[in-house]
A and B are shown apart, each in its own frame.
Chain A
């Protein structure tokens, strides 16, 4: 068949689109590296304080990202801790117990949850904080606890979906094997199905972690501030890396701080890239060694 004009245009268009997108993102990354590479040293994180003393919590870091990095790490840990039990249980219910209309209804709810803009979730968190402040205790306000719970709402759909998909993807024969040998439904779920779904569930969790690391909208409404030091308690305000970057963009006071902002961006980028690759690696890798128990 002769190659017509339409076909030639399509090929040209596709390559143009691909190159445009790739160059746009490359420009972004390149610019970041260009402006921020000089900030990439331990001082970026620890400022004037010697790293060891900072890590051992002996001395406060004033000029570095350490509090923000610590805040982000603590935030991620807490959010995932809330989200995992609820998310996995819900995924199990959807895949193994819910039938017909109930499943469709639940499905609809979680699709809606997944589509809610992050700022709206943040607003809910803020409103809850206000509500609790007025009706329960003066001590409660936007804080680490509220942020992590709000963030867990944000990533709940990820974990529900990946758990459900992983469980439903198990071939029928494997699903029936333990049952045919006299297993109860619960035994089947815990001894056969969950171990088999582990790689899918893990990669969902890692994606959720990535989402928690990069989110700014939820935390800016629920307790992240520009300067709070290391996270002191669940009910205190805290610093976080993405919020720090946002704050610098509008409030930087000198070129050094701006460069630190670029450095922070590179750091955040590496963190997210690492998490993303980990999720990918887990999906590909664990399927090879589906949890061998000798």
Chain B
């Protein structure tokens, strides 16, 4: 385990326990995650890796029957904050801690509207700002060159790999500090996987990235640290 100085710890999880419909899923998980790095989470199916990700952006609170104990602190804008504290608005948290899901799920809109959607949610109306951030996000996701001439096309017409990069761009447009990805390439072919892995490697200089992944080679290829889950807790890493 990388024990750098406390300054570079981005996420600190202490004694995290999670149960869903009275079944325990995570038990006393404790770990620190360094900033500006890629940490891979591995382990058998159903062991709780995706659930763990959801405790970091409080997405589980919309699932009925779920409950959690423990502390999660994330360093946002320089300060360590308990993300479950009342002073933290969930919508603000999710702007800083973004998530990309396993299957690409573009909304039924154009590419432009898809990527700009988070801005619309946040109430941004200035067209100039929107355009600028749109291009910036698409460039970060390595998708700009492929779509810059057809931003108003239906997003669902893109290929699988392109759609997933679209979802990554959409997650990046609010300039988050942490990016959570749940098996982002499991539904993609080899070439698309390589493209996404490359873009993640490029992103780690700006963000802290946690990736849930099943594929051992991918894990080894791109991550700085590997955390293995089994039986609801971390067994190594």
Contact = CB atoms under 8 A, between A and B. Distances in A.
A185 B61 CA distance: 11
Nearest to A172: B63
A15 interface: no
Interface string B34-78: 000000000000000000000001010010100000000000000
8 contacts: A99-B64, A176-B101, A177-B101, A178-B107, A181-B98, A184-B121, A292-B108, A294-B152
Interface stretch (B10-18, B110-118, B204-212): B110-118
Chain A contact surface mostly: helix
B174 to A, nearest CB: 7
A94 to B, nearest CB: 13
Given A183-B91, A184-B91, A292-B108, A178 B117 contact: yes
A180 interface: yes
Contacts of B118: 181-182
Interface string A263-294: 00000000000000000000000000011111
A291 B109 CA distance: 9
Interface in B69-113: 91-92, 94-95, 98-99, 101-103, 105, 107-110, 113
Interface residues of A, number: 25
Nearest to B122: A182
A258 to B, nearest CB: 53
A179 B94 contact: yes
B154 A182 contact: no
A78 interface: no
Contacts of B99: 180
B102 A173 contact: yes
B219 to A, nearest CB: 23
A162 to B, nearest CB: 20
B110 A294 contact: yes
B187 to A, nearest CB: 12
Given A175-B62, A181-B121, 10 more contacts: A173-B105, A177-B105, A178-B117, A180-B99, A181-B117, A182-B95, A184-B91, A290-B108, A294-B109, A294-B110
A180 B110 contact: no
Contacts of B117: 178, 181
A173 B109 contact: no
Contact of B108 (A99, A182, A187, A291): A291
A100 B117 CA distance: 32
B171 interface: yes
A293 B170 CA distance: 17
Nearest to A292: B108
A194 to B, nearest CB: 12
Q: Considering the complex of A and B, which 6 residue pairs feature the smallest CB-CB distances, nearest first?
A: A180-B99, A181-B118, A182-B94, A182-B95, A183-B121, A294-B110
B163 to A, nearest CB: 12
A183 B59 CA distance: 11
